[in-house]
Amino acid sequence: MDMEFQDIRAEVKGLLCTGRLKLTENNIVFKNVKTGKVDQLTSSDIEFVNWQKLVGTCGVRIFLKNGNLHRYSGFNESDQEKIAKYFKNTYHLDMLEKELAIKGWNWGSAKFNGSILSFDVGNLTAFEIPLNNVSQCTTGKNEVTLEFHQNDEAPVSLCEMRFHIPSAELAGEQDSVEAFHDQVMKQASVISISGDAIAIFREMQCLTPRGRYDIKVFQTFFQLHGKTFDYKIPMTTVLRLFILPHKDGRQIFFVVSLDPPIKQGQTRYHYLVLLFNMEDETSMELPFTDEEIESKYAGKLTKELSGPTYEVLAQVMKAIVNRKITTPASFKGHSGTSAIGCSYKAAAGYIYPLERGFIYIHKPPLHIRFEEISSVNFARGGGSTRSFDFEIELKNGVIHTFSSIEKEEYGSLYDFINAKKLRVKNTGKSDKPAYTGDDYGDSDNEAEPDAYLARVKREGQERDEDDDSEESTDEDFNPEGQESDVAEEFDSNPSTTDSESENEGGVSGSGDKKEKKKKDKKPKTAKTISEKPRKPKKTKKPDDGKPKRAASAYMIWFNSARDSIKANNPGISFGDIGKKGGEIWKKMSSSDKAEYEEKASKLKEEYNKAMKEFKESGGGAKAPKESSKKSSSTKSSTPKKVATPVKSGSFISKEFIESDDSSSDDDKSKVKSKIETKSSDDSSDDKQSKPKQSKMTVVESKSKRKKESSDESSDGDRAKKSKSDSEESDDDEKSSESSPDPSDSD
């Protein structure tokens, strides 16, 4: 029976990589969660195994017959018994416990066992050094210095270590320093350009890192030699090899995946992307005899190689690295190639569906394995129905969006995803699930059901309906006339228009028509295809004295834990504090949350009680506010149609009076009734009474002056006086008729 352990950490060049460890009858398999790299140990190659207690955890130490050491940590103490039993029954090996020295001394004895340098204090091991991590070894008089390969993924790396070695006591013995140096160099992984290169490729175009480089392939590493930079890359860091055809059919990509990546300054390159023309060919002869080629590469290479340049390079790399070359799956897009044109992070490139994942080329290169994917989503592109977005959500929550994919690629891409049994998630307006299986057809065939195309058409139709409803003919536009609507709303001294005179005359039909036109009118704003016109947001004014809503259990805990989160994560951004708090809250047990949930329930009860008292006291009532708004609107609407008030020194011209003589008696009666209603309104409204009183005083001053002049006249002119009084009364009526009525609205 197989055993499997999660969250196990394996040591890779000074870095503990998390993954899954599986014990089978024939192999011990470790799979890196981050890179997907699989390391297998054959059970027949295991020499012995040890159990070790480490800081806060336990580990398993597996020593192979070839001298290599593999260490895994992350086990619990309870796993010791069942792992020991499994090794005993399956591999017939006893798992002994290996203790470590804890004295802290820095002097002891050095022992070499295979590729391991063990530094012992007394009879216990203080630490062990895998010699295959040593990049250089130098000697001094009584000193040896070891330098190590750097892992750019590790937060802290060991650069070098120095050993002081006492001189030999006996003259005939070999020098201790030289003996130590020779033992280290036998197993060290020293990158030194010694000897001839296996193959050399001149002036190769490299997209990542950008430039033209000479590629020199050696037995244990290969070198990129450019005009500015020079990279030496160990063969052990090569993770995968890809050959990807360009969409134009004339070029091809050769991609090398690296783990750990190469580094230039602060930039890390996880992928080498080389671009070749398919027409370029080369030929070379390897510096080996036929017997050496057969013994070293088991027939994978021949002495003479010729053909397209990318094929020769791929053949050499495959034989030396001993990795398979990954090519696109049977997927064929609309263009007949396996490449899908798209954009990723504002850079154009191509995404290739592979047998076990996706790869994007080229800036930045990205490889996504199917086992990392949580779901995929087809989203509508920004403003254009001729393209769509392809979103890939990983299990760790990261979302990669590939945009501007042609609509014709949708059918074949969806069929590929459906064949690989990936979960499809749609997050548009329609929450209906996408078609799956035989119910889904090719998007190019309009007769077949197409979930994405139907959704795009439906959203486009809704957008067109919204546009039609918001557009209306502007019938009131009169370039030669006056802007009546604007004048009524904003001018302090608007002039009377024909529509106003019709409303004052009691023509209700035209007034209703105008109100209908005003309702149809809406402000026109600039709209784009990608988004609908935005509706103005209604701002709610909170009621005074209204109790605040009670905080949830999470918010109570988060407010108390905010400072500790900042202290434990120095330099964390404001937005990441909330994310970190959410992660901690999810991991908390129900017993830990009970305290805060109890506080939240008490606050909730207090809030409900306070809200009830607030409503009983009359808070939050909408009716009085609406009535007050209506009354204020009537008051504010009346002065909008009022013309400038008549001043005390102004007189009505004789021509105006004579032109009004032709008015009917019915109009005069209407004017009189208006004056009476105006006097009643003045008594109720103080603000509107002031302009009215000034108008009445004008009329009274006129009559007084006329009366004084009539008293001074002779008795023989009484007939003329009576005639002038009658004319005065007519003038008063006409002046009151011509003066605007502030209380008359609409």
Convert the pLDDT of each residue in 657-715 to its tens digit. Answer: 444 444 444 444 444 444 454 444 444 444 444 444 444 444 444 444 544 544 544 44
Give the Cα separation of 703 and 736 in Å (integer). 14
HEC assignment per residue over 497-563: CHHHHHHHCCCHHHHHHHHHHHHHCCCCCCCCCCCCCCCCCCCCCCCCCCCCCCCCHHHHHHHHHHH
Average pLDDT, the chain: 74
Q: Which residue has the higher pLDDT, 459 or 541?
A: 459
CA distances from 67 to 59, 98, 112, 113, 134 (A): 19, 18, 10, 7, 15
Question: CB of 451 within 8 A of CB of 492?
Answer: no
Per-residue model confidence (pLDDT) at position 261: 87
Name the DSSP letter for residue 393.
E
| pLDDT computed for residue 541 by the predictor | 55
Res 705: pLDDT:
53
* pLDDT value for 730: 52
**Average of pLDDT values for 573-589?**
86
Q: Of 239, 201, 238, 240, which is closest to residue 217 (Cα–Cα)?
A: 201
Can you spell out the DSSP letters for 340-376? EEEEETTEEEEEEE-SSEEEEESSS-EEEEGGGEEEE
Reading the block at residue 122, the tokens are 């007394």
Residues 96-118 have a mean pLDDT of: 88
For 403-432, letters b (16+ CB in 10 Å) and e give: bbbbbebbbbbbebbeebeeebebebeeee
Q: Is the pLDDT of residue 322 over 70?
A: yes
Using a pLDDT cut of 90, give the percent of the chain over it: 19
Structure tokens at 693: 């009183």
For the segment 441-449, the average pLDDT, to the nearest whole number, is 38
Structure tokens at 634: 């009537």
Mean pLDDT computed over 365-376: 92
Gap between the Cα atoms of 288 and 199, Å rounded: 11
Other C-beta atoms lying within 10 Å of the C-beta of residue 632: 10
Q: Which pLDDT does position 254 carry in this prediction?
A: 95
Three-class DSSP category at 200? strand
pLDDT over 50 at 475, yes or no: no
Q: Tell me the three state secondary structure of residue 625.
A: helix
Q: How, if at all, do strands 134-139 and 124-130 pair? A: unpaired
pTM for this one?
A: 0.50
Q: What is the pLDDT averaged over residues 631-644?
A: 45
Instruction: Evaluate if residue 39 carries a pLDDT over 80.
Output: yes
| Confidence at 158, pLDDT banded by 50, 70, 90 | confident
| Span of 467-476, 540-549, 606-615 with lowest mean pLDDT | 467-476
pLDDT digits (tens, 9 = 90+) for 179-225: 888 888 888 877 665 567 888 999 999 998 999 999 999 888 899 99
